[in-house]
């Protein structure tokens, strides 16, 4: 566990901030693990979002706690002795703050459901370009279904890798945690483009 890690004397004053940030991440991911299935089954975005907003809040808080209570002080202390700083660690970007609200996370979850939009919303569809690949989808093809499936797979893979990284960090396996986090970074960046 991360609690068992013995920090250097330069980092000791900031260790509790790191542990608090990791705890927020663990509880946020556990929250998602416990509630995502039920939220996915709910048809109303606000109701689904109410089940998950606390989870997102924990993850968002982890970024703030890491930066403010650990990284800023740790980097300053390490700089004084000529050492490299601690790695950056951001679970959610600043633009994801709307996901902390029930409405925000509920709408994001709703957009992941295939066929989420119902009814007549226009009489014609011109061109659809799937990002970030820039793939132009053609009417009557399987491209649209394939792209939605790809988006869901990328988001799922991101959450899986981040959960594994946090599990490894919680067990004190920093090497594996960093490896998994690095592996998750490009996947989560792609997932972020689908959620925004």
For the chain, how many structural domains are there in total? 2
What global pTM score does this model have? 0.56
- Domain check: are 132 and 82 in the same one? no
For residue 45, is pLDDT > 80? yes
For residue 1, is pLDDT > 70? no
Do the Cβ atoms of 50 and 31 come closer than 8 Å?
Answer: no
Q: Is residue 115 part of a domain?
A: no
> For the stretch 73-99, what's the b/e string if a residue is b when 16 or more beta carbons lie within 10 angstroms of its beta carbon?
bbbebbeeeeeeebeebebbeeebeeb
- Domain check: are 79 and 134 in the same one? no
- Domain check: are 86 and 131 in the same one? no
- Domain check: are 140 and 183 in the same one? yes
- Domain check: are 188 and 97 in the same one? no
Which tens digits make up the pLDDT trace of 69-124?
A: 999 999 999 999 999 889 988 888 888 888 888 898 988 888 887 765 555 555 56
User: Can you give the residue range of the structural domain that contains 23?
Assistant: 1-103
Do the Cβ atoms of 154 and 184 come closer than 8 Å?
Answer: no
Reported as type and span, the H/E element at residue 128 is: strand 128-130
Q: Is residue 47 part of a domain?
A: yes
- Domain check: are 93 and 43 in the same one? yes
């Amino acid at each position: 566990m991360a609690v068992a890690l013995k920090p250097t004397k330069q980092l000791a004053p900031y260790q509790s901030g790191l542990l608090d940030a990791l705890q927020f991440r663990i509880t946020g991911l556990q929250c998602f693990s416990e509630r995502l299935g039920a939220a996915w089954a709910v048809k109303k975005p606000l109701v689904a979002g109410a089940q998950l907003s606390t989870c997102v809040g924990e993850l968002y808080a982890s970024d703030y706690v890491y930066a403010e209570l650990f990284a800023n002080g740790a980097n300053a202390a390490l700089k004084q002795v000529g050492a490299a700083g601690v790695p950056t660690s951001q679970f959610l970007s600043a633009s994801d703050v709307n996901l902390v609200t029930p409405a925000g996370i509920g709408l994001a979850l709703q957009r992941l459901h295939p066929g989420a939009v119902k009814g007549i919303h226009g009489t014609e569809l011109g061109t659809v370009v799937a990002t970030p690949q820039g793939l132009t989808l053609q009417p009557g093809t399987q491209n649209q279904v394939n792209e939605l499936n790809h988006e869901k797979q990328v988001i799922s893979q991101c959450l899986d890798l981040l959960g594994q990284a946090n599990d490894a960090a919680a067990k004190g396996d920093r090497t594996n945690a960093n490896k998994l986090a690095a592996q998750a970074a490009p996947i989560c960046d792609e997932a972020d483009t689908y959620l925004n």
